[in-house]
Each structure stands twice: as C-alpha cells, then as structure tokens.
Amino acid sequence: GAVAKWAGIAILLGLAAYLAYGSAELVLSLPVKEWDSLLAQTPFLLLSMGADYLRVFLVAGAALVVSITLGYYLATHPRANAVIAPVIQTVAAYPAPTYFPLLVGATIGFLVTAFPFGYVELYVFILGFLSCFYYVFFDFWIGVLAIPSEFWEVMDNHELGFRQRMRRVILPATFPYLITGISSTINSAWAGIAIAEFWPDIVGNRTLVVKIGMMKFIGENLASGNTAAAAWVSVLFAVVVVFYGIFFTRNLMDLARRRYVVEEGVYAG
C-alpha cells in the first residue's frame, strides 16, 4: 500500500543519508582552497562515475544473458541440473577475490600478449562478473522451477519454441525474480569492480589499475592519504545511488508486484 511504499522510500533515504554523513562531514570541514580543488575535479569525477556505471551495466547485462540461458537449460534438463547446479553453488560459496589472484597468475602472461591494451579491463569485467553472476542466476533458476506445471503443459501442447516460451511465458513469469536478482547483481558488481580497478601487487609486482574509474580514484586517494577527495566522490556517488534506487529499482519492483504474478494465470484459467 501507500504506507509501505513511502516507508520503503524513507528507509532508503535514511540509509543513504547515514552512509553519506561521514563523507559529507569531512568534506564540509575543508578549507576554501581545497573546496576549489574538489569542485574543479568534479567534471572528471562524474566522467569516472559514468565509466564505472558502463562497466557495471556491461557486467550485469552479461550476467543476465548467461543466467537466463543457463538457468532455463538446467531447469528443463534434470540430469544436467543435478551435476552443474551443485558445482555453481560450491563456487558461489567462495568470494571471488579469494581466488581471483590465482586466476590472474595463471592467465596474465597470455592476456598481456593477446590484449596488451585491454587486459586490465578484461580482468575488471571478469572479477565483476564472478562477484555478481550467482545472484541473478539463482533467482531466475528458482523462478523457472516455480512456474506451475499448467504453464508447461500449455507450452508443450502448443509446441512453443525457445524464443516464444521466453517471450510469452518464462520471462513474464520470472520477472519478479529477475528484478530481485538484477538489483543484487548490480550491487555486487560494484564491489567486484571496486576491487579490480585498483589492486596493487595482485601477482608479484603486477598491479591492476584502470585508466579511468571512480573506484580507482577512491582507492588511489585513500592509499595516498587524500581522504577528502575520496570522501567528495563518495558524496556524489551517494546522491546518484539514491535517485537510482527511487526511480529505477523501486519502480521495477512495483511493476513486478502489480503485473507479473504468475499464479494469477492459473486461477484465471
């Protein structure tokens, strides 16, 4: 209802305000000269934030495509599901940063030669993907398994192909699951990308560092002791996150609850 809606908005705003408070307090205590420096850097920081959002959406998009394809396959092939699903669950139990250096150590020699100007971005993509893929995969997979048998009978009787099943039944039926999974995926992608953009001495004396990125900016400035600059970009990011949560995630959640309830199709039939 309306009360729950506004309560959710209030909680979101409260959390964002709390997280931004420490950064804002530090920034507001700065002298005028340092403020001038921060304001002069703001256009570059917004560009860096845009670069990170592009990375996040690419990672989330790839995770969504893989999850839909693999999740549907496993849900409709019990034998493959019995083998592959436990493997994915086991790998998902380990935080990606714990084994990512091993992956880098095993592949960096090849990737530096094969992609001399893009291997860092590839590693950022890989760590972001490994950090977030499981959320949308498991939500979609469970959503497909939860589709009532009556819908499967209708699809079989009408001999619907993969694309028709997806467009007419599977995606609408699993939309609430997908929205939940995508929200968690985007949040976790940020965590993976934040680590990968600036990782000193990840293997030997090799450091992963991107050319431009908000998370790289924060990491480098924290490492050098420039907490004011890191706090300023955190404040900017907090503002964007609030608007994203209110106008994107919340609206999609509301849409999923209002229009995409698969059980209603059974009762209507």
Residue-wise pLDDT for 58-87, tens only, equals 999 999 999 999 999 999 999 999 999 999
Mean pLDDT of 167-184: 87
Name the band, by pLDDT with cuts 50, 70 and 90, for residue 10: low
pLDDT in tens, 198-234: 999 999 889 999 999 999 999 999 888 888 888 888 8
Name the band, by pLDDT with cuts 50, 70 and 90, for residue 266: very low
- Domains of the chain: which residue ranges? 2-261
| Residue 128 confidence (pLDDT) | 96
CB pairs under 8 A, 24+ apart, for 264-268?
Answer: 265/148, 265/151, 265/173, 266/148, 266/150, 266/151
The listed CATH number (1.10.760.10, 1.10.3720.10, 1.10.287.180, 3.30.460.90) that belongs to domain 2-261: 1.10.3720.10
What is the residue whose two structure tokens read 């970009």?
Answer: 233
What is the residue whose two structure tokens read 């934040």?
Answer: 194
- Is pTM beyond 0.85? Reply is no
| Residue 50 confidence (pLDDT) | 95
Q: How far is CA 240 from CA 32, 181, 189, 233, 250, in A?
A: 25, 21, 16, 11, 14
β-sheet bridge partners, residue 199: 208
Contact 48, 259 (CB under 8 A): no
| Residue 237 confidence (pLDDT) | 87
β-sheet bridge partners, residue 203: 206
Q: What is the mean pLDDT of the chain?
A: 85
Find the length of the chain: 269
**CA 20 and chain centroid, separation:** 21
